Amino acid sequence: MLLPNFLYNENGTQFLKKVIHISVHKKNLVIMWFANFFMAASSTMVLPFLSLYIETLGSYPDGFTQKWSGYVFGVTFLMAFLVSPFWGRFGDKHGYKKILLITGSGIGTSILLMSLVSSVYELFFLRMAMGLVTGFIPTSLAMISAQTPKRAAGKMLGTLQMGTVSGGLFGPLLGGLLADHVGFTYTFFITAFVIYGAVLLVFAGVRERPLKSNRDRSITYTRKQVLRTILNQRPLITVMILTAVIQVGNFSIQPLLALYVSELHGTQNLAFFSGLAFSATGLGSLLAARKWGALGDRFGHGKILVILSLSAAVCFIPQGLTSSYETLVVFRFLFGIALGGMIPCITASIRLQAPGSIQGEVLGYNVSFRFLGNVIGPVLGGILSSYFGISAAFYVTAFLFFSGACLLLFQRSQQKKSEAKAS
């Protein structure tokens, strides 16, 4: 009786009007928040035990698992690096929703088939095929960015990022629990079907209505013109390079984290404790992503990115030095706070600088830089750890984030000099 009474009184009527008349881009934001949550949770469910899964596929010599963990992890992003600009151009011409449906279905199918492999080479092939359709979350960022006013881009993208990092928070932890209790095979099954659920949510709920400037057919750009536009704007090049640096630093560690946790904590419930270490980063990102995006809107995304890059560098050094699992988790959490603001600030920065009619393709090139970092990172981490130990990967990662901050500061100083000369 309470619900009908509420609906028929004045307060209920006003509430229904707000729900009915909520803008399309806000509805899409809510739907994509949940879709990204399920996609990120499902995709990261398999990360904590990927290296452990490789060990179950055969008996290998020392160093083989570390190297192939990097190769298997990185090949997905190598393929994605090659195809991302084409997905972006397709989105500019035909709409982002189609890309979301294609990539989501492809990712789910690839993960489902991973449960059936009998060798590391089959797993490698499936991860490579998965890379051709990877791009659900970056495409969702491009779609929401295209529908968002520039003055609020950082805040809105930070809100969307909260869905991704929330999934990243719960995914590894849930994946570790499932792997310990039902085994790797059933975990792959569950992961795939949750991804299919996210695809159905997008299919049924998203109504794509991009900004008119993005659909102005009188303005067309060739690929050469798009590349020339990017190359002529140094801030765009800088943030794309920073995107690659961030991903190299982040992904140099992720494939090795389960092995590092086993050194610090032991092998008991290893998948769960590896997932907990993953989730600590996600928790930090969840708490900070929206706030960093809003601060970027207020003070400038470049300034915030410098602060975040330096903070990330500081957080990695203790992770390599520690002999305590608890200390590792604490600094993974602090790193997550810094990481949470980087992608929203970079995406918002591109949103401010790229012409609307080619924004999807420019973001596609940025995604390519992102995936390039995802390729280099695992391979770099695997090689470093096989020769110098896992701790070396943490130190190199700290240096990379520090270098990214220096690159940003140099670009900002050059831009100020150019503005001073022009005035």
pLDDT digits (tens, 9 = 90+) for 391-403: 888 898 899 899 8
Choice between 406 and 173, residue whose per-residue pLDDT is larger: 406
The pLDDT assigned to 165 comes to 66
Average pLDDT, the chain: 77
pLDDT surpassing 50 at residue 7 = no
> What DSSP assignment string belongs to 7-54?
HHSHHHHHHHHHHHT--HHHHHHHHHHHHHHHHHHHHHHSGGGHHHHH
> Where do the domains of the chain lie?
23-208+223-415
What is 23-208+223-415's CATH topology? Growth Hormone; Chain: A; (1.20.1250)
Non-local CB neighbours of 262 within 8 Å, separated by 6+ positions = 270
pLDDT surpassing 60 at residue 176 = yes
Closest CA to 326 of 280, 385, 387, 394: 280
The pLDDT assigned to 378 comes to 78
The pLDDT assigned to 370 comes to 79
The pLDDT assigned to 217 comes to 45
pLDDT digits (tens, 9 = 90+) for 339-354: 888 877 887 787 777 6
Helices (H), ranges, 133-256: 136-147, 153-182, 184-205, 223-231, 234-251
Closest CA to 364 of 122, 90, 63: 90
Question: How large a percentage of the chain has pLDDT more than 90?
Answer: 3
Q: Which amino acid is at 98?
A: K
Q: Which amino acid is at 175?
A: G
The pLDDT assigned to 155 comes to 66
For residue 400, CA distances in Å to 192, 215, 412 come to: 34, 38, 19
Choice between 263 and 310, residue whose per-residue pLDDT is larger: 310
d(CA 103, CA 39) in angstroms, rounded, equals 11
The pLDDT assigned to 151 comes to 63
Whole-structure pTM value: 0.66
Which whole number is the average pLDDT over 43-55?
Answer: 73
Count CB-CB contacts under 10 A for residue 58.
Answer: 12
CB crowding 349-385: b at 16 or more within 10 Å, else e = bbbeebebbbbbbbbbbbbbbbbbbbbbbbbbbbbbb
The pLDDT assigned to 201 comes to 86
The pLDDT assigned to 13 comes to 46
Tokens 């590894």 correspond to: 172
Q: What angle do CA 131, 142, 244 make, to 5 degrees?
A: 55
> What DSSP assignment string belongs to 349-411?
HHHHHS-GGGHHHHHHHHHHHHHHHHHHHHHHHHHHHHHH-HHHHHHHHHHHHHHHHHHHHHH
pLDDT surpassing 70 at residue 140 = yes
Most confident of 252-261, 328-337, 369-378: 328-337
Helix axes 153-182, 24-45, angle to 10 degrees: 30
Tokens 């393709």 correspond to: 361
Look at 66-70, 259-263, 320-324, 331-335 and tell me which has the smallest mean pLDDT.
Answer: 66-70
pLDDT digits (tens, 9 = 90+) for 266-279: 777 776 787 788 77
pLDDT digits (tens, 9 = 90+) for 314-336: 999 888 888 888 899 899 999 98
The pLDDT assigned to 10 comes to 52
pLDDT surpassing 60 at residue 167 = yes
The pLDDT assigned to 310 comes to 92
Question: Which band of pLDDT confidence, cut at 50, 70 and 90, is reported for residue 48?
Answer: low
171 contacts 45 by C-beta, under 8 angstroms:
yes
218 contacts 357 by C-beta, under 8 angstroms:
no
For 56, half-sphere exposure in the C-beta direction (CA atoms, 13 angstrom radius) is 14
Closest CA to 63 of 389, 395, 394, 396: 389
pLDDT surpassing 60 at residue 136 = yes
Most confident of 3-17, 138-152, 187-201, 284-298: 187-201
